Amino acid sequence: MSQPSQKKLKVAVVQHSNSADIEHNVNKTIQGVREAAAEGAKLIVLQELHRSLYFCQTEQTDLFDLAETIPGPSTEQFGALAKELNVVLVLSLFEKRAVGIYHNTAVVIECDGTIAGKYRKMHIPDDPGFYEKFYFTPGDMGFEPIETSVGTLGVLVCWDQWFPEAARLMAMAGADILIYPTAIGWDTRDDEDEQHRQLDAWVISQRGHAVANGLPVISCNRVGQEPDPSGQSEGILFWGNSFIAGPQGEILAHAGAEDDQILTVDVSLSRSEDVRRIWPFMRDRRIDHYSDLTKIYRK
């Protein structure tokens, strides 16, 4: 089999715990970005809602004050950082679009400090401890990859990672990499076996998107215990385990479950073509029989 020329990209994720002190969190993130850049990373992915605690454990109207415009303070601050370090950054922000309209939005900052594009989270959960429908309007920008100097990025957000349709649509639109800023963890009342099942399912699902689409996957999660402000539970123990996988789902780098950690690894963007040649799933799709996918349920 002929080999296309290898195009390598050093990528990184910044996994860390958060506190109620936003300035502290931002400084920790910035330090992580600097360390990743010092290791040679040119694409650096941050975890979901990295400025604050994961505030969706309860429904409180005053927490909408955490939201900001895009462009806004964070894109300005991290834009300057991206330009200084000559890196592409993937941010995850609580966006205030208009009065009463807020989104969970990923923003890609180009290495010159400008906004390359953004993605508004499409799938919004509403489960105990994850009351996101109270805060976030579902995205209306579709599944469109973002063109950057390091490649075409298929950026999705957390709950999107369970939906094969989202990954496939990004791949069909020309994404070179699938990227998932994430905030997911355990309910501490679950027993150890259930916790293992949930974590395994999370990793398997995203590795499956890599395999099904022949693309690398970058998943960045947070770590640490964050209390439930209502006191109705012990809060969420975010399970970390950020990872980077290749286009056959192979693990290239994998973080632990408890500690702040920066992962950096070289990813081959050209190997996706090799994989798609031997596993031509795109070629063999039967789109003439997939119309029922637009239905909620077939019965």
CATH number of the domain to which 246 belongs: 3.60.110.10
Examine residue 293 and state whether it is found in any structural domain, yes or no: no
Examine residue 290 and state whether it is found in any structural domain, yes or no: no
pLDDT for the residue numbered 1: 33
Examine residue 1 and state whether it is found in any structural domain, yes or no: no
Cα-atom radius of gyration of the chain, to the nearest Å?
A: 19
User: Where is average pLDDT lowest: 65-69, 141-145, 188-192?
Assistant: 188-192
Q: Give catalytic status of residue 158 as yes or no.
A: yes
Active-site pick, 10, 96, 121, 226: 121
pLDDT for the residue numbered 69: 98
pLDDT at 278 over 60: yes
Q: What is the DSSP string of 190-248?
A: S-HHHHHHHHHHHHHHHHHHHHHHT--EEEE--EEEE--TTSSS--EEEE---EEE-TT
Q: What is the mean pLDDT of the chain?
A: 96
pLDDT digits (tens, 9 = 90+) for 215-262: 999 999 999 999 999 888 889 999 999 999 999 999 999 999 999 999
Active-site pick, 28, 158, 220, 226: 158
Contact 164, 208 (CB under 8 A): yes
pLDDT at 6 over 80: no
Containing structural domain, residue 79: 8-285
Active-site pick, 48, 95, 110, 226: 48
Examine residue 299 and state whether it is found in any structural domain, yes or no: no
Contact 82, 113 (CB under 8 A): yes
Provide the 8-state DSSP code for 132: H
* pTM, rounded to two decimals: 0.95
Q: Give catalytic status of residue 111 as yes or no.
A: no
Examine residue 291 and state whether it is found in any structural domain, yes or no: no
pLDDT digits (tens, 9 = 90+) for 95-126: 999 999 999 999 999 999 999 999 999 999 99
pLDDT digits (tens, 9 = 90+) for 9-66: 999 999 999 999 999 999 999 999 999 999 999 999 999 999 999 999 999 999 999 9
Examine residue 294 and state whether it is found in any structural domain, yes or no: no
> How many domains, the chain?
1
Q: Give catalytic status of residue 48 as yes or no.
A: yes
Examine residue 2 and state whether it is found in any structural domain, yes or no: no
Examine residue 144 and state whether it is found in any structural domain, yes or no: yes
Q: Distance of CA 134 to CAs 31, 88, 123, 234, Å?
A: 32, 31, 13, 21
> Which tokens in the block code for residue 35?
């360390």
